[in-house]
Amino acid sequence: MTIKLWKGNEAIAEAAVRAGADAYFGYPITPQTELLEYLSSRMPALGRVFLQAESEIGAIHMVYGAASAGKRAFTTSSSPGISLMQEGLSYIAASEVPCVLVDIMRGGPGLGNIQPSQADYFQMTRSAGHGDYHPLVLAPATVQEAVDLMSISFDLAFLYRHLVVLLADGILGQMMEPVEMPPLRTLEDQMPGWALTGAVGRPPRNITSLYLGAEQLEGLNLRLQAKLAQIAAYEQRWESYRTDDAEQLIVAFGTVGRIARSAVDQAREQGQRVGLFRPISLWPFPAQPLAQLSRHVDSILVVEMNAGQMREDVERIVGGPVHFLGRMGGMIPTPEEIVEALPMKPKAQVHRNGSNGAAPVKRIKERSYAPSA
């Protein structure tokens, strides 16, 4: 197999194609537009469905429709567009229709900007929209990992009949990295037993999220919760890096996860025993492995490109407040900045590059409940 340079957005698109995507519906929004543009020629070339929708709301409901027919359907967007999909996502989850969503996050709130961000963590891990459920949320740190996760996302979606979200940010969407692409999968046209195909010689099938009776709707919810418990049991993904002897633990996901990796290396060079815990599945959050690791370290530093959203999960799991470094609005933490934010300072003062007159870094760094309370 060959390794080629791929732009993140295009690599994700191609990975979806190779994973057997039958239909794509989307709406342009920076920084994910290349996904849509790439698919606008690639899907028709393979005789598959590509359709630019009139809006994100249109797109998610087209996906809902195509997925109801048992097809591998997906859409992609970025933060404001994802907000518009919240109702549709809730319907999809409640109807137990499998589908895949890619969110290439950008700066918010509001129109914000088009720079990278991780501020959809809450929006995606805490039930997209109303009601009780969590999408299965996967957060790659490299283009290769994005491709690998995209490759299994439809399988996961169909296995659990659930919504699978690939959560990345503008950096991952826009950057190029070497990628080994999986081969194009040819899927037999096997219609799942719940799909709408026309009621030929069988009773009709309905796909709905309406359960008028409270007991019926509680029944659906108990079924969903049971499914989520299963997903939580089987689908936790994470990476630990140099944690074996770590005294200080950094927790970071996605792009920040890879930056933190550099920070770990830098800190190690300076003699600090630092490790990295990088959740890959954000829901289910890899709670047990983190809880276990947390017992062996002296301090935990969560780093995010948001105001501390994953931090809340980490605090809940480790049972107390943690240190936090957050950059927002498209500002990207540097490895140096992360090292500097580590609570325990190295004994020896170490020379460090990169302090030549740059403006002082604004950041949130704290150790209390207050703003996240």
Partner 1 sequence: MPPVLERPIENQTNNGSPVLEPVYCFPDSLRDVHTHYCPGCTHGTIHRLVAEVIDELGIRERTLMVAPVGCAVFAYEYFNLDSCEAAHGRAPAMATGLKRVLPDQIVFTYQGDGDLASIGTNEIIHAAARGEKITVIFVNNAVYGMTGGQMAPTSLPGQVTSSSPAGRNPAIQGHPIHIPEMLAGMPGVAYAVRRSVHSVAEIRKTKKAIRQAFQTQLDGLGLSIVEILSSCPTNWRMDPAGALDFIRDQMVPVFPLGDFKVIG
Partner 2 sequence: MQTSIVIAGFGGQGVLFAGQLLAHAALDARKHVTWIPSYGPEMRGGTAHCTVIISDRPVGSPLARHPEIVLAMNQPSAVKYAPLIGLGGLLVVNTSLAEIPATRPDVRLIPVAANEVAEAAGDLRLANVVLLGALLATRPILPAPVVEKALERYLPERHRHLLDANRAAFRAGYASQDEQTRLAA
Ligand X SMILES: Cc1ncc(C[n+]2csc(CCOP(=O)(O)OP(=O)(O)O)c2C)c(N)n1
Nearer to partner 1, 46 or 210 (CB): 210
- By CB under 8 A, tell whether 101 contacts its own copies: no
Specify the stretch interacting with partner 2 by CB under 8 A; choose among 188-196, 231-239, 285-293, 349-357.
Answer: 349-357
Cα separation, 303 vs 346, in Å, equals 19
Closest to 235 measured CA to CA, from 143, 124, 313, 152: 152
Which tokens sit at 180?
């080994």
Q: Of 48-67, which residues contact partner 1 (CB under 8 A)?
A: 49, 51-59, 61-67
CB contact at 8 A, 10 and 38? yes
Q: Which two tokens stand for residue 350?
A: 């170490």
Q: Which of 174, 209, 240, 299 binds partner 2 (CB under 8 A)?
A: 174
Restricting to residues 206-245, name those near its own copies by CB under 8 A.
208-222, 224-225, 228-229, 232-233, 236
Interface with partner 2 includes 212 (CB under 8 A)?
A: yes
Least distance in Å: CB of 4 to its own copies? 30
Max Cα distance, the chain (Å): 78
- Min. distance of Cβ 84 from ligand X in angstroms? 5
What is the rounded CA–CA span in Å between residue 15 and residue 207? 28
Contact between 369 and its own copies per CB under 8 A: yes
The two three-digit tokens of residue 31, written as one number: 């920084």
Strand order through the sheet with 323-326: 238-241, 274-279, 248-251, 299-304, 323-326, 364-366
- Among residues 165, 171, 224, 297, the one that binds partner 2 under rule CB under 8 A: 171
Q: Does 174 bind its own copies (CB under 8 A)?
A: no
Closer to partner 2 by Cβ: residue 65 or 329: 329
Q: How far is the CB of 236 from partner 1 (least distance, A)?
A: 31
Is residue 164 within 8 A of residue 38, CB to CB? The reply is no
CB of 197 to partner 1, least distance (A): 7
Residue with tokens 């409901």: 61
Nearest approach, Cβ of residue 307 and its own copies (Å): 4
Quick check: 46 binds its own copies (CB under 8 A)? no
84 touches ligand X by CB under 6 A: yes
Residue 366 as a binder of partner 2 (CB under 8 A): the answer is no
Among 80, 182, 321, 346, binds ligand X (CB under 6 A): 80
Part in contact with partner 1 (CB under 8 A); list of ranges 145-153, 195-203, 307-315, 338-346: 195-203
CA torsion 20-21-22-23 (nearest 10°) is: -170
Residue 326 φ then ψ, to 5°: -130, 135
288 binds, among partner 2, ligand X, its own copies, none (CB under 5 to 8 A by kind): its own copies
Name the burial class of residue 218, with classes exposed (0-12), middle (13-18) and buried (19+) by CB atoms within 10 angstroms of its CB.
exposed
DSSP assigned state of 211? -
Cβ(62)–Cβ(26) below 8 Å? no
Alpha-carbon distance of 155 to 297, in angstroms, equals: 36
- Residues lying near partner 1 in the complex (CB under 8 A): 22-23, 25, 27-30, 33, 36-37, 40-41, 44, 49, 51-59, 61-69, 71, 73, 80, 87-88, 91, 95, 110-111, 196-201, 204-210
